[in-house]
Chain A
């Protein structure tokens, strides 16, 4: 079946602009995660949704970052007043909650470049 998809695959923007990154999880997966990966490092957690609600947003770096999942499926990560330090690959993952397993399936990511 279809995996996690993310759009756009690449986004170039100017400092101070607003951007939206979209994630389509695997159909039926109730959990959705956003991570950010800087060059040469492992992914770092940003926010986790269970259904429509943000169950854990402790990884969001500041109030310029916000994410929504209004219908419990597609999610949008929104970044206001972008800064050069926001440049990274933004990864989305989804999982089907089942017992104590937490296997997450990742999308291809959106590479954000802030000039």
Chain B
């Protein structure tokens, strides 16, 4: 079963616009990660945010985490055609500060950036 739910399921924007997607989860977490996937193959790790962090930036990416609402958002600023991909959030779901825990993924948001 999948813990996370991404919203929206699909997003179509013009190049240069910002893309925002949200992720909700059900259980307590140790950290939350966002991944990108092109063409249904390997996932590329984008950013990890720990449960005691509220916001994190990496290049054009901004991630927020609200543990009280059990939700996270990923913002891609100034989008490019190359950002077209599926984006997944993943949690370790254990709430225990131990490494090596399995990730539970959401269903993903499919983003199309039109040139």
- Tell me which of A38-46, A62-70, A72-80 binds B: A38-46
Residues 51 to 88 of chain B near chain A (Cβ within 8 Å): 88
Query: How far is it, in angstroms, between the C-alpha of A43 and the C-alpha of B88 when the chains are bound?
Result: 9
Is A107 touching B50 in the complex (CB atoms < 8 A)?
Answer: no
Query: How far is it, in angstroms, between the C-alpha of A48 and the C-alpha of B88 when the chains are bound?
Result: 20
B105 interfacial by beta-carbon distance below 8 Å: yes
Q: How many A-B residue pairs have CB under 8 A?
A: 82
The tally of residues in A whose CB lies under 8 Å from a CB in B reads: 34
Contact pick for A102, options B44, B103, B105, B108, CB 8 Å: B103
Interface size class on chain B is 20 to 34
What are 19 A-B contacts with C-beta separation under 8 Å?
A: A31-B99, A33-B103, A35-B103, A42-B107, A43-B88, A43-B103, A45-B102, A91-B42, A91-B43, A97-B100, A100-B30, A100-B31, A100-B50, A102-B33, A104-B103, A106-B35, A106-B42, A106-B43, A109-B42
